[in-house]
Chain A
Amino acid sequence: MARVKSKWTYLIITVLVAFLILIPFDWFLGQYTLLMTLIGIHTMLTVGLCLLLGYTGQVSLGQAVFYGTGAYISAVLSKTYGVNPWLAMLIAAAATGAFAYVIGYPIFRLRGNYLAVATLALGVIVYILFMQLGPGGPDGMAGIPYLSIGGFVFDNSFKRYFLVWFFCLAVLLISQNIVRSRTGRALRAIHGSEAASESIGVNVDQFKVKIFVLSAIYASLAGSLFAHSMAHISPSTFDPLASVVIVVMAVIGGLASIWGAIFGAATIIILKNELLLGFGEWDIVIYGLILMLVMIFMPEGLFVRLRDIFDRWRLRYAQIGAEP
Chain B
Amino acid sequence: MSADQFLQYLISGLTMGSIYALVGLGFTMIYAVTRIINFAQGEFVMLGGMLSFYLISSTGIPLVPALILSVLTATSIGAIMYILAIRTARRASVVSLIIITIGAAVFFRGIAGEVFPWGVDIVRPPYFTGSESISFLGAYIHPQALWIIGTTLVVMVLLHLFLSYTMVGKALKACAISPVAAGMVGINPKAMALIAFTLAAALGGIGGVVMAPLTLTYYSVGFMLGLKGFVAASIGGFKSPIATVVGGFTLGIVESLAVGVDWGPFTSAYKDVIAMIVLLLILLIRSGRLAAEERAG
> Interface residues, chain A, CB within 8 Å of chain B?
53, 57-59, 61, 106, 109-114, 116-118, 120-122, 124-125, 128-129, 131-132, 240-241, 244, 247, 251, 280-292, 295-296, 299
Tell yes or no: B230 within 8 A of A by CB: yes
A295 partner, pick from B37, B96, B277, B284, beta carbons under 8 A:
B96
Size category, B interface = 35 or more
A281→B109 contact, CB < 8 A: yes
| Interchain nearest-CB distance for B237 vs A (Å) | 13
Residues of B near A290 (CB, < 8 A) are 103
Residues of B near A296 (CB, < 8 A) are 85, 88-89, 92, 96, 100
B167-219 interface with A by 8 A CB criterion: 219
In the bound complex, what is the Cα–Cα distance between A3 and B98 (angstroms)? 30
B102→A247 contact, CB < 8 A: yes
In the bound complex, what is the Cα–Cα distance between A288 and B101 (angstroms)? 9
B103→A295 contact, CB < 8 A: yes
A132-B269, A299-B92 known; A289-B103 Cβ under 8 A: yes
> Interface residues, chain B, CB within 8 Å of chain A?
35-37, 39, 85, 88-89, 92-96, 98-100, 102-111, 113-114, 119-120, 219, 223-224, 227, 230, 267, 269-270, 272-273, 276-277, 279-280, 283-284, 286-288, 290-291
A116-B37, A251-B99 known; A289-B280 Cβ under 8 A: no
A109→B106 contact, CB < 8 A: no
Q: A57-B95, A109-B290, A291-B100 are in contact. List 9 more A-B contacts (CB 8 A).
A: A113-B94, A117-B230, A118-B283, A244-B102, A281-B113, A287-B107, A288-B106, A292-B103, A295-B103
Q: List 25 A-B contacts (CB under 8 A).
A: A53-B95, A57-B93, A59-B95, A61-B102, A109-B290, A113-B94, A114-B286, A117-B37, A118-B280, A121-B227, A125-B273, A128-B270, A128-B273, A247-B102, A281-B113, A281-B219, A284-B107, A284-B110, A284-B113, A285-B110, A287-B110, A291-B100, A291-B103, A291-B106, A295-B89
A285→B269 contact, CB < 8 A: no
In the bound complex, what is the Cα–Cα distance between A281 and B218 (angstroms)? 13
B98→A288 contact, CB < 8 A: no
A299→B227 contact, CB < 8 A: no
Q: From A125, A131, A240, name the one whose CB has the most chain B CB atoms within 10 angstroms.
A: A125
B283→A110 contact, CB < 8 A: yes
User: Considering only CB atoms, which chain A residue lies closest to B266 in the complex?
Assistant: A132
Residues of B near A59 (CB, < 8 A) are 95, 98-99
| Interchain nearest-CB distance for B185 vs A (Å) | 27
B94→A280 contact, CB < 8 A: no
Q: From B85, B107, B269, B288, name the one whose CB has the most chain A CB atoms within 10 angstroms.
A: B107
In the bound complex, what is the Cα–Cα distance between A296 and B85 (angstroms)? 7
Residues of B near A282 (CB, < 8 A) are 110, 114
| Interchain nearest-CB distance for B11 vs A (Å) | 25
Residues of A near B108 (CB, < 8 A) are 288
In the bound complex, what is the Cα–Cα distance between A288 and B84 (angstroms)? 14
A281-B110, A284-B110, A288-B107 known; A121-B276 Cβ under 8 A: yes
Residues of A near B273 (CB, < 8 A) are 124-125, 128-129
B283→A114 contact, CB < 8 A: yes
In the bound complex, what is the Cα–Cα distance between A114 and B284 (angstroms)? 10
B94→A121 contact, CB < 8 A: no
| Interchain nearest-CB distance for B83 vs A (Å) | 12
B111 partner, pick from A111, A285, A292, beta carbons under 8 A:
A285
Residues of A near B107 (CB, < 8 A) are 284-285, 287-289, 292
Residues of B near A299 (CB, < 8 A) are 92-93, 96
Q: From A112, A128, A290, A296, name the one whose CB has the most chain B CB atoms within 10 angstroms.
A: A296
In the bound complex, what is the Cα–Cα distance between A295 and B95 (angstroms)? 9
| Interchain nearest-CB distance for A52 vs B (Å) | 10
A124 partner, pick from B39, B85, B272, beta carbons under 8 A:
B272
